[in-house]
Chain A
Amino acid sequence: MHQMHGAGETGAVQPAIELRGIDKRFGAVHANKSIDLKVEKGTIHGIVGENGAGKSTLMSILYGFYQADGGTIHVDGRLCDIKGSEDAIAVGIGMVHQHFMLVEPFTVLENVILGVEGGAILREGVDKARGELKRLEREYALDVNPDAIVGDLSVGLQQRVEILKALYRGAEILILDEPTGVLTPQEADHLFRILETLKQQGKTVVLITHKLREIMAATDNVSVMRQGEMVAHRKTAETSPEELSELMVGRKVLLRLEKGEAAPAATVLEVDNLCVETSQGVRKVKNASFSVRAGEIVGIAGVSGNGQSELLEALGGIRAVTEGQVLLNGQDVTPGRGVDAAELRKRGVAHVPEDRHRMAMVTSFSAKEAAILGYEDDASYQKGLFLNWHAISDATKHLMSEFDVRPNDPDLKAANFSGGNQQKLVLAREIMRDPELLLVGQPTRGVDIGAIEFIHKRIVAMRDAGKAVLLVSVELDEIMSLADRILVMCDGAIIGEVSAADANERVLGLMMAGVDPHEAKAAEGQS
């Protein structure tokens, strides 16, 4: 067991990890610019930065997934040449990836021993691993059934398997890349307790995240990255979310969205007992009933994969419903029964899908082509049998300046815009049509903080103009700051509704985990 040291202040202790001058380019993108980083032994060290700041690249270099173009890596004061994951594992580095690196049809045990089977024939290794796993589970309170099939486990448990994998390989340093993206707040709290236990056992933890709340709650030290550069190192106790966000963005940002009271008017969207099944017959949305009125934003919260995507796709007309009814201004527009996405668009429903690259745009198109997708048969874009590219170009320029899409070049390939600018272009396309109802999914996924602020303001402006907005997001902060009413989905069903004023993270988190709203509120009352 390692000795505990007070964050390495003794001076004699070598840092667990020291990076010197790490540099990495991907073609034209300079992902890491001469990065220096020290992580003290036995601490939890946070690395924050916006999407694309280079955090994941840096950690992938440390784990041997990529090779740095320049710079050196020192572990426990020794210079290490990490050429591949096996080298990283050998010096005691373990990593929990954002997208789990698990083999779903395998058992927990098989996943844990993969790569360290301990012999050409599995049996002996498996028996040894079973004992070792028992010990690890006891020591770190990581209960998982070793014979369970990983694909059947919940996301939180799968994450534990990833942690067990790293510990089984003798990891002294554990890197977690955006570990809470798929967890409920309660599961995230549990994770942080596990990390705390690891720290007490002398392990070093590196936590990569873009959520400042987690940094403040769980870390001892924090490093901030911006556009490939390491811009600051702080002791968590001596900094604040405001300072960190300013460091991340490079300017002051409003963390709280300013918005007035909603003035809900007539009901625009009425969803009654809606059920949606996948082609395999799995019921993804179960008897959802709700309404959205003009002049309000209704948010749908839930852990990713609980049916909210399917619900949004059904309302957007791209997925047929199995049962139930959808009314728009009192008229039946149930998708799959003679009503499709194009028809819904004509009736004033705009849809910003969750997945920008897969559904909202064709990234190999130019901006002006992307800007007319779905509206390409609009009369103003036609010239006889052909498209009127002059008119389209002008219209796109207008959209781009209105939504601050940079660079303002309608001929640039959509893929060459940053995520935030792509998303602004998609929003511009949908919002500038002046729809009655805006369906919007994950409006700020993979979008930088500056653009988030802008997008949020535009969505609120839609509401203030008397339009109905349905927002689906897995980011609780986003839901809580934008929505006037919040519906929570769990396992395909709408568990309950909370008004924005009553909402807090604990209640929503419990509901997202499937707890009845009344019980959730009662539990909240007791604590």
Chain B
Amino acid sequence: MDNFELVILLLDATLRTSTPLILAALAGMFSERSGTINLALEGMMLGGAFSAAAVAYYVGNPWAGLLAAIATTICLSLLHGFACITHKGNQVVSGMAINILMSGLTALVGIALFAQGGKTPSLDHESRFQPITLPGADAVADVPVLGSIYSELLSGHNILVYVAFLAVPAAWWVMYRTRFGLRLRAVGENPGAVDTAGIGVVAMRYRAVICSGVLVGMSGAYLSTAQGASFLQDMTAGKGYIALAAMVFGKWRPFPALFACLLFGFLDAAATRMQGVILPGIGEVPVQLVQALPYVLTVILLAGFIGRAIPPKSLGRPYVKER
């Protein structure tokens, strides 16, 4: 295998590993730009993954699973919103509660329904999202460089990968070019300004967390019905938090967040590649060290080594009309 092919393979894996991060990071962005901290991404992703796998298994169709995942995460978002927006609860506590709840609940329901130790049964071919071959991919496969970039790197992913990458410009457009986006950003900065402009703050924030729910639902469905073929207990393994870190690293903006997700995804893909590789002068790289890299990087990034991120001004603060 030559180096070029190795790079293509690595980038190909990067796209696949960063997809759930991108969707979840955008989900986090919608919620946090409106002023609601969304630490619950992890738990929502888990809930989405479980619903998608379970429903896809029963119905035999991944789209049904996707819808179930989105429905689940919208419900969880509304729960988070009910605690944080309606009842002005602590957003971090509500988020963590949802994470803990979903970690336990998915395992519990999984055992009750399938009795496989918290797993869902493996999905067959029909019940998963399948790779899509882009038009002409086979025809150009033999063209050097560009051909293999197109046919191997860009073609052959499942629909959710493409959706995730298209969601980035779409989210940018919604955020910066529409009335909805303007109001959403305003409500996260100064809800008083939105209120006095005659727009309901609560309704606006609910709409934002629902957007967040839709996106993170797709991310969960991707894990269990596209990348994997079943739900495994705690299969998100911190991806929700990493997505959140990517969003913060991207300063609550879609394109920078995309690059952060790609970076994390690349490290993840590289970690898999590096296993067992013997580097000159160092010897075999310990697997654990490589696997820990994305998390270490998360800590470093969040500690603020790279630029200062200015969060939305009202982030984490429930809106109370002052007297």
Contacts and interface: CB of A to CB of B under 8 A. Distances in A.
Interface of A: 26, 57, 63, 65-66, 84-89, 95, 97, 99, 101-106, 110-111, 113-117, 119-123, 125, 165
B198 interface: yes
A115 B197 CA distance: 5
12 contacts: A65-B196, A88-B198, A95-B196, A97-B192, A105-B189, A110-B182, A114-B197, A117-B179, A119-B179, A120-B179, A121-B179, A122-B178
A84 B183 CA distance: 17
Contacts of B321: 65-66
B182 A84 contact: no
B196 A97 contact: yes
B198 A115 contact: yes
Contacts of A114: 182-183, 186, 193-194, 197, 199
B179 A85 contact: no
A84 B198 contact: yes
A106 B186 CA distance: 8
The 5 closest A-B pairs by CB, nearest first: A115-B197, A86-B198, A101-B193, A117-B179, A85-B198
Nearest to A120: B179
B313 interface: yes
B275 interface: no
A84 B196 CA distance: 8
B28 to A, nearest CB: 19
Contacts of B185: 103, 105-106
Contacts of B194: 114-115
A367 B182 CA distance: 47
Nearest to A119: B179
A97 B190 CA distance: 13
Interface of B: 177-183, 185-186, 189-190, 192-199, 313, 321, 323
Nearest to A88: B198
Contact of B177 (A63, A88, A105, A122): A122
Contacts of A115: 183, 194, 197-199
Nearest to B183: A114
B177 A123 contact: yes
Given A110-B182, A123-B177, A104 B196 contact: no
B196 A117 contact: no
A113 B323 CA distance: 26
A122 B196 contact: no
Given A85-B196, A114-B182, A125-B179, 9 more contacts: A65-B195, A65-B196, A65-B321, A97-B196, A103-B189, A106-B185, A113-B182, A116-B197, A122-B181
Contact of B193 (A63, A103, A120): A103
Nearest to B197: A115
A106 B184 CA distance: 12
Contacts of B190: 101-104
Contacts of A117: 179, 182
A121 B177 contact: yes
A486 to B, nearest CB: 33
Q: Pick from B182, B192, B197 the residue with the most CB of A within 10 Å.
A: B197
A299 to B, nearest CB: 31
Contact of B182 (A99, A102, A122): A122
Contacts of A102: 190, 193
Contacts of B180: 120
A84 B313 CA distance: 24
Contacts of A26: 323
Nearest to A89: B198
Nearest to A121: B178
A106 B181 CA distance: 12
Contacts of A113: 182
Contacts of A66: 321
B209 to A, nearest CB: 20
A114 to B, nearest CB: 5
Contacts of A103: 185-186, 189-190, 193
A146 to B, nearest CB: 15
Contacts of B189: 103-106
A121 B178 CA distance: 4
Contact of A63 (B181, B196, B199): B196
A213 to B, nearest CB: 27
Contacts of A85: 195-198
Contacts of B182: 106, 110, 113-114, 117, 122
A85 B194 CA distance: 10
Q: Pick from A26, A105, A123 the residue with the most CB of B within 10 Å.
A: A105
Contact of A122 (B179, B192, B199, B323): B179
Given A101-B193, A104-B190, A120 B178 contact: yes
B255 to A, nearest CB: 17
A102 B191 CA distance: 9
Nearest to A123: B177
A104 B313 contact: yes
Contacts of B323: 26, 57
A66 B320 CA distance: 12
A170 to B, nearest CB: 12
Contacts of A125: 179
A267 B151 CA distance: 84
A433 to B, nearest CB: 34
Contacts of B181: 122
B34 to A, nearest CB: 13
A522 to B, nearest CB: 42
B254 to A, nearest CB: 16
Nearest to B198: A86
A259 to B, nearest CB: 36
Contacts of B177: 121-123
Nearest to A94: B196
Nearest to A116: B197
A110 B178 CA distance: 11
A400 to B, nearest CB: 27
A106 B187 CA distance: 12
Nearest to A114: B197
Contacts of A123: 177
A332 B223 CA distance: 65
